[in-house]
Amino acid sequence: MRKSTAPAGRYAFAALLLANLFLAFGPWMVRMADVGPVASAFWRLSLAIPLLLLFARWQSPAAFRPGWSVGITVVLGGLFFAADLAAWHYGIVRTKMANATLFGNSSTILFAAYGFIAARALPRPGQAAALVLAVVGAVLLLGSSYELSPKHFIGDLFAILAGFFYALYLIAVDRARKVMAPMPVLALSTIAGAVPLLLFAVFLGERVVPGDWTPVLLLSLGSQVLGQGFLVYSMGHLSPVVVGVGLLSQPAVAATIGWFAYGERLSLADAAGALLICLALFLIRLPERRLATGEAEPHLGSDRSVP
């Protein structure tokens, strides 16, 4: 008997929010790790591989026999993700956390634009409003701690570069998810990205083996297994513009982390920014509810064959 895909799609938006909750803890773990920034990116991927392979085999036994075009897309996505992590982790330790978060989230606009180009359609008024509100909210949240200065210039450039590579990774995953289940996509892209990161960390002369494994273990489990796992799953059911707006919830979580972990007080602008992001998530969710509760959507095709 054929299984219904409605329940899976119904939880996609919640999975997107959970993804950003876990991903927002990543920069904190990178700062706490006692290895180099690129080395921490390597451990984020490599430590996750056994779990992701196990989940992928459980979800789809035939997952590792994709067609050539899909396989190349997933591998390219993994390489783009490796480039994103290397650039972003390098930038995180060379600029302010707010700068890195703001510039790194430039992928949101690029990925949303890709969605409209791929659909050959202009954004609906509600979509455009939600995207603008989310961007303004993120700027307000980070505005009090954001700072342009020559001291942060190199780190800012790497954060912008990371946003570009992350957008390319999201596009590759979006295309692969049309024909593959989430865990195989994530497992294969993670494997493709791990080795280049190790080689680059060694080339830079970074410390690779940690003395304290706790930060890199939490980084791998939280950001890669759970964060990327929920994100890749949700991308099979939600449009790029919804995913893009959802990604901008990370600054709100990051501000909360700063409040609890470092005693950084939230200003009125911070509260207004968080409120705008919440409003954007509400607006962008409304048009998607009909799709998430059972009607067909192009991205659902891959999950219909998953046992």
In a domain, 82, yes or no: yes
Q: What is the DSSP string of 18-70?
A: HHHHHHTTHHHHHHH-SS-HHHHHHHHHHTTHHHHHHHHHHH-TTTT---HHH
Q: Are 210 and 216 in contact (CB under 8 A)?
A: yes
pLDDT value, residue 186: 93
Question: Does 131 map to a domain?
Answer: yes
Tens-digit pLDDT profile for residues 252-297: 777 677 677 666 566 677 677 777 877 887 777 765 554 444 443 4
Cα–Cα nearest to 269, from 134, 104, 142, 99: 142
Reported as a single tens digit per residue, the pLDDT across 4-18 is 444 556 788 889 989
Least confident of 22-31, 36-45, 99-108: 99-108
Cβ contact 131:279 at 8 Å: no
Q: Is residue 17 included in any domain, yes or no?
A: yes
Q: State the residue for tokens 């501000």.
A: 255
Contact present, 149 and 99 (Cβ < 8 Å): no
In degrees, to the nearest 5, what angle opens at C-alpha 135 toward C-alphas 131 and 139?
170
The whole-number average pLDDT for the span 148-161 is: 76
Q: What pLDDT, on a 0 to 100 scale, did the predictor assign at position 63? A: 56
Domain count, the chain: 1
Query: Is 168:55 a contact under the CB 8 Å cutoff?
Result: no
* pLDDT tens-digit series, residues 40-84: 999 999 999 999 999 988 877 665 566 778 889 999 999 999 999
List pLDDT tens digits, range 115-142: 888 877 777 888 888 888 888 877 776 6
Asked whether residue 8 is domain-assigned, the answer is no
Neighbours of 262 (CB within 10 A): 9
Q: How far is CA 174 from CA 137, 181, 231, 237, in A?
A: 26, 11, 11, 10
pLDDT at 120: 79
d(CA 115, CA 95): 30
Whether residue 3 is contained in a domain is answered as no
Evaluate whether residue 285 is within a structural domain: yes
Model confidence at 181, in pLDDT bands (50, 70, 90)? confident
Angle between helices 250-262 and 97-104 (to 10 degrees): 170
Select from 5, 11, 271, 43 the least CA-distant residue to 143: 271
Q: Is residue 7 part of a domain?
A: no
Check if the beta carbon of residue 77 is closer than 8 Å to that of residue 203. no
Domain extent for 152: 13-292
d(CA 306, CA 180): 9
In the block, residue with structure tokens 């024909």: 179
pLDDT in tens, 185-234: 999 999 999 999 999 999 999 999 999 999 999 999 999 999 999 999 99
Q: Which of 107-111, 128-132, 173-177, 303-307 has the lowest mean pLDDT?
A: 303-307
